[in-house]
Amino acid sequence: MNFSYEIKKICKQSGARIGVLKTPHGEIETPVFMPVGTCATVKGLRREDLINLNAQIILSNTYHLFLRPGEKIVEQAGGLHKFMNWEKPILTDSGGFQVFSLSSLRKIKEEGVEFSSHLSGERHFISPERCMQIQHSLGSDIIMAFDECTPYNATYKQADEAEKRTARWLKRCFEEAKDYENQMLFPIVQGNFYKDLRLRSIENCVPYARCGIAIGGLSVGEPKEVMNEMLDFIMPNMPQNMPRYLMGVGSADCLLEGFSRGVDMMDCVLPTRVARNGTAFVKEGKLVIRNAKYKNDFTPLEQGCDCYTCKNYTRAYLRHLVNCGEMLGAELLSIHNLHYLINLTKQIKQAIYDDCLLDFKKEYLKNFTLLEK
Amino acid sequence: MNFSYEIKKICKQSGARIGVLKTPHGEIETPVFMPVGTCATVKGLRREDLINLNAQIILSNTYHLFLRPGEKIVEQAGGLHKFMNWEKPILTDSGGFQVFSLSSLRKIKEEGVEFSSHLSGERHFISPERCMQIQHSLGSDIIMAFDECTPYNATYKQADEAEKRTARWLKRCFEEAKDYENQMLFPIVQGNFYKDLRLRSIENCVPYARCGIAIGGLSVGEPKEVMNEMLDFIMPNMPQNMPRYLMGVGSADCLLEGFSRGVDMMDCVLPTRVARNGTAFVKEGKLVIRNAKYKNDFTPLEQGCDCYTCKNYTRAYLRHLVNCGEMLGAELLSIHNLHYLINLTKQIKQAIYDDCLLDFKKEYLKNFTLLEK
């Protein structure tokens, strides 16, 4: 087997872990923040940028690649790594979340989901088996189960049914993917905000979790306290001997909350998405570079930051680029924001080594605000 | 004086020249193709890209920088080089061409031009003196005279008056800029497509041309034969002992036509502009990457090309990026297109050394088409 996970250190204060996940495309040290490249490109960045940022693994998306360019083209290219020229590990999301987000455009049946492309309106059908086959064509290292995600306001009945279907679909995913070499299937724990359903989902997932398991259905509109409380409940019930991946969550405060509860992998589109709107992550929260006060501010985005952007450019120049709608503005802010989260993860790792992650988190969040400055 | 120009070689077959222009920010070997960074950024590219492309000098634009971020902010930053973090030479266009392109939004008087910002509608006034002052604040190495450019269909009377005003304004530019250290003013030859006016303009420019002179008012809508014929007339009448800059012209065929007639410097927005629309320059002309036939074409844009894009990515991937509207597509095609023109200039230089530029041009254009493939 080409995958293994080894825990190197457990923080005595928090229980958070440092580990090494081995994949066919290299090792990943956890905790890890994973940049998102939905359409086989982390928006605006080059592979060299990602390497310089010490990105260990990137995400891509089955739904988007299925629509464009189509998984067969990626397969003909020799897989996603070759297609996009990225040699390190890749995780593909199953597209389940995207398909369910289409709401009125999709129809869920036991066999799978019928949906209309958000691009062309064309009708498509994806079953758990088809989802595995697409991810097999893509050739990503970590492939995700095809699950049913429910919104924050789902009723118990809806959450219960979705969890049951997710469990049945997981079995079908596993059957389809069990002989895939060089690809590891991560089951996804669902159950909405109902503790008994979450517990049942974990039980349903564990038999199919060989070297990784994910938590889905969080960060779907609920207040952060609600998410953290649910994590408090979920994490002690999760298997210990494999990486635990909290899906689609990754602002600075969320990284601190997740990793300190024993989450090992996180991802989020936020750092590149807000960069394109001119927002930079800084130690105190968010900096909106369009603000007039930065027009002749010739200091870097963040004093002391050693990212490419901060070493080479000033707030005044970045503001100018963003104001003019210049691509370089989005590129440079994306680099800074990814560096910020990857660097925060590095500091979190150090705090795990030093058995003081809860202290570190408290100290960090003391001066941190979600408001824009 | 911080500027000098030395001719190293004259092609026996064509009369084209190789020379070295010394500037306060380094030497430029001519003939040179200059990438355009209108708003203090070559769209989508990093300084490292430009350095790797062997870009020797870049262009920026007085009109655009005057409006955003304003020349005073650039001056406070320590000048344009510091503001945009580019240490090699910079040439700023005077903004004359842009102001005159505003047509209904501007009013030309002897004192200067009153115009409305194309962004905000705000009224502004730029005189020859003000234009010099702005470029002085920007701190570019080569500054351009504030001229009046006429369209292809201008009457003799219009062209005559514009040439006379350009001459009077040049004198005022020169007076204003004569004590600028580290900045070289290039006069601009106008006169539309009337040979006597072109000749008079050259006579009017020469007294103020110390280390460089430009040809404006070409590539303003006329057929290419008309431009080449006018160049045939103009070039033998231009001063020999300084670089001759043909403004705003720079497709592959134009580089061959211009440089082979003794032009030393050229620039064009085309390579980056068409890149953003998915068009790549190749030896045979243009390649439109959106075409369906490239969807599973896993060869580089151009076989044998050693640019970053061709060494790392396939047509299929580039097509995917462009189809998805991904920034990286524009970045990679821009790199390829700039490499193509800079590399063509390198080959032209070699042909000058080998005294065979006319043969090289003929051979190159034999398989070259302006049509898209």
Distance set, CA B319 to CA A48, A68, B292, B370 (Å): 21, 10, 9, 21
To which residue do tokens 């709608």 refer? A325
Taking an 8 Å cut-off on Cβ atoms, the answer to whether B328 and A73 are in contact is: no
B interface with A, Cβ–Cβ below 8 Å: 39-41, 43-47, 68-69, 73, 76-77, 83-85, 295-296, 298, 312-314, 316-317, 319-321, 323-324, 326-328, 330-331
pLDDT of residue A373: 57
Contacts of A316 in chain B (CB under 8 A): 69, 73, 77, 83
CB-CB neighbors (< 8 A) of A324 in chain B: 39, 41, 68
**Is A267 designated active site?**
yes
| ipTM above threshold 0.90 | yes
Q: At what angle do helices A195-205 and A156-177 cross, to 10 degrees?
A: 10
pLDDT tens, position by position, A273-321: 999 999 999 999 999 999 999 999 999 999 999 999 999 999 999 999 9
**Contact between B296 and A76 using a beta-carbon 8 Å cutoff:** yes
- Where are any strands of DSSP class E within A99-146? 106-108, 113-116, 123-126, 142-144
pLDDT at B372: 65
Q: Is B23 helix (H, G, I), strand (E, B) or coil?
A: strand
DSSP result, B219-253: SSS--HHHHHHHHHHHGGGS-SSS-EEETT--SHH
pTM beyond 0.95, yes or no: yes
pLDDT at B128: 98
Query: Distance between CA atoms of A173 and A94, rounded to whole angstroms?
Result: 11
Which of A49, A93, A141, A160 is catalytic? The answer is A93
- Chain A positions touching B85 (Cβ under 8 A) are 312-313, 317
Q: What pLDDT score was predicted for residue A185?
A: 98
- The region that residue B58 occupies, defined by phi over 0 for left and psi between -120 and 50 for alpha, beta otherwise, is beta
Across the interface, which of A45, A85, A317 has its CB nearest the CB of B83?
A: A317
pLDDT of residue B373: 57
- The gap from C-alpha B137 to its chain's centroid, in whole angstroms, comes to 21
Region of residue B78 (left: phi > 0; alpha: psi -120 to 50; beta: else): left
Give the pLDDT confidence of B165-203 residue by residue, as tens digits. 999 999 999 999 999 999 999 999 999 999 999 999 999
Give chain B positions within 8 Å (CB) of A295: 69, 73
Q: Determine the straight-line distance between the first and last CA of chain A, rounded to whole angstroms.
A: 49
**Among A94-108, A206-220, B138-152, where is mean pLDDT lowest?**
A94-108
Output the CA–CA distances (angstroms, integers) from residue A233 to A64, A291, B4, in the order listed: 33, 41, 75
Give the model confidence (pLDDT) of A170-204 as tens digits: 999 999 999 999 999 999 999 999 999 999 999 99
In Å, how far are A231, B64, B221 from A187, measured between CA atoms? 17, 53, 62
Number of A/B CB contacts below 8 angstroms equals 101
CATH 3.20.20.105 residue ranges of chain B are 4-268
Residue B49 bears catalytic tag: no
CB contact under 8 A, B316 and A77: yes
| C-beta atoms surrounding A240 within 10 Å | 11
Low-confidence ranges of chain B (pLDDT < 50): none
Residues B243 and B265 sit within 8 Å (Cβ to Cβ): yes
Q: pLDDT at position B360, please? A: 98
Locus of tokens 């869920």: A108
Q: What is residue A241's predicted lDDT score, i.e. its pLDDT?
A: 98
Contact A45 B298 (CB under 8 A): no
Q: What is the mean pLDDT of chain A?
A: 96
Q: Which residues of B touch A77 (CB under 8 A)?
A: 296, 298, 314, 316-317
* Residues of chain A in Cβ contact (below 8 Å) with chain B: 39-41, 43-47, 68-69, 73, 76-77, 83-85, 295-296, 298, 312-314, 316-317, 319-321, 323-324, 326-328, 330-331
C-alpha A38: how far from its chain's center? 10
With both helix axes pointing from N to C terminus, report the angle between B224-234 and B195-205 in degrees, rounded to the nearest 10: 50
Angle among Cα A358, A356, A55 to the nearest 5 degrees reads: 85
Is the pLDDT assigned to residue A131 strictly greater than 90? yes
- Chain B residues whose CB is inside 8 A of the A317 CB are 40, 77, 83-85
Structure confidence by residue, pLDDT tens digits, A66-95: 999 999 999 999 999 999 999 999 999 999
Cross-strand bridge partners of residue A305: none
Return the residue matching tokens 């004569």. Answer: B178
How far away is chain A from the Cα of B137, in angstroms, using its nearest Cα?
15
Mean pLDDT of A93-122: 89
Concatenated DSSP letters of B109-178: -SS-EEEE-TTT--EEEE-HHHHHHHHHHHT-SEEE-------TT--HHHHHHHHHHHHHHHHHHHHHHT
Mutation target to probe the A interface, by most A beta carbons within 10 A, among B51, B317, B322 is B317
Nearest to B73 among A43, A76, A316 (CB): A316
- Residue A145 above 80 pLDDT? yes
Q: Are B69 and A45 an interchain contact pair (Cβ–Cβ within 8 Å)? A: no
Q: Which residues of B touch A84 (CB under 8 A)?
A: 317
B293 class by beta-carbon count within 10 Å (0-12 exposed, 13-18 middle, 19+ buried): exposed
Nearest-CA residue of chain A relative to B65?
A320
The whole-number pLDDT of residue B186 equals 98
CA nearest neighbour of A16 among A373, A349, A371, A305: A349
Which residue in chain B is spatially nearest to A323 when comparing CA positions?
B68
Q: Which of B117, B294, B320, B335 to mutate to test the interface with A (most CBs of A within 10 A)?
A: B320
Statement: B4-268 belongs to CATH 3.30.360.10: no
Q: Which chain B residue is nearest to residue A82, measuring alpha carbons?
A: B313
